[in-house]
Amino acid sequence: MAITIVTSADAGVPSLTNAVGSMVALLDYLLVTKLGWTKPFTGTNKAAFKQPAGTNGFYVRIEDLTTATNSPTIRGFETMTDVDNGTGPFPGPAHVGTAFPTMNKSQSSTPCGWFFISNGKMWYLCVCYSTTAAQIMNSGGSLYGFGDIKSNIPGDGYHTMVLASASTGGDNTGTGGVTLTQGSTAWVNTTSFSGIAGNWIARRYTQFGGAQNMTKFTDFHLGGATANMGAGNLPYPDPVTNSLRMSRVNVAEPNCVRGYLPGVWSHNHLYNYTQLTTPAIQYFPGSGDTAGKTFVMLYFSACSVIFETSDTWDT
**Backbone φ/ψ region at 234: left (φ over 0), alpha (ψ -120 to 50), beta:** beta
Average pLDDT of the residues in 32-53? 98
Average pLDDT of the residues in 3-19? 94
What's the CA gap between 291 and 293, in Å, rounded? 6
Query: What pLDDT is stored for residue 173 in this prediction?
Result: 32
What's the CA gap between 119 and 96, in Å, rounded? 30
Asked if residues 39 and 28 have their Cβ atoms less than 8 Å apart, the reply is yes
Distances (CA, A) of 41 to 74, 101, 144, 171, 172: 15, 20, 22, 30, 29
Query: What pLDDT is stored for residue 28 in this prediction?
Result: 98
Asked if residues 89 and 104 have their Cβ atoms less than 8 Å apart, the reply is no
Helical residues (DSSP H) of 105-201, grouped into ranges: none
Residue type (1 letter), 22: S
Query: What pLDDT is stored for residue 299 in this prediction?
Result: 75
Query: What pLDDT is stored for residue 148 in this prediction?
Result: 98
Average pLDDT of the residues in 162-188? 49
Question: Which of 277, 67, 263 is closest to 172 using CA atoms?
Answer: 67
Encode pLDDT of 89-143 as tens digits: 999 898 888 888 888 888 889 888 889 999 999 999 988 865 554 455 555 678 8
> Is residue 181's pLDDT more than 50?
no
Furthest C-alpha separation in the chain: 56
pLDDT confidence tier of residue 302, bands split at 50, 70 and 90: low
Query: What pLDDT is stored for residue 175 in this prediction?
Result: 27
The residues pairing with 217 across neighbouring beta strands, listed in sequence order, are 250
Question: Which of 170, 211, 212, 217 is closest to 64 using CA atoms?
Answer: 170
DSSP state of 122: E
The residues pairing with 282 across neighbouring beta strands, listed in sequence order, are 297
DSSP helix/strand/coil, 253: strand
Mean of per-residue pLDDT scores for the chain:
83
What's the CA gap between 142 and 235, in Å, rounded? 25
The pairing of beta strand 46-50 with beta strand 73-77 = unpaired
What's the CA gap between 31 and 14, in Å, rounded? 13
Determine the distance from the C-alpha atom of residue 78 to the mean position of all C-alpha atoms in its chain, rounded to a whole number.
20
Encode pLDDT of 156-174 as tens digits: 999 999 998 876 544 433 2
Query: What pLDDT is stored for residue 297 in this prediction?
Result: 86
Residue-range domain boundaries for the chain: 4-221
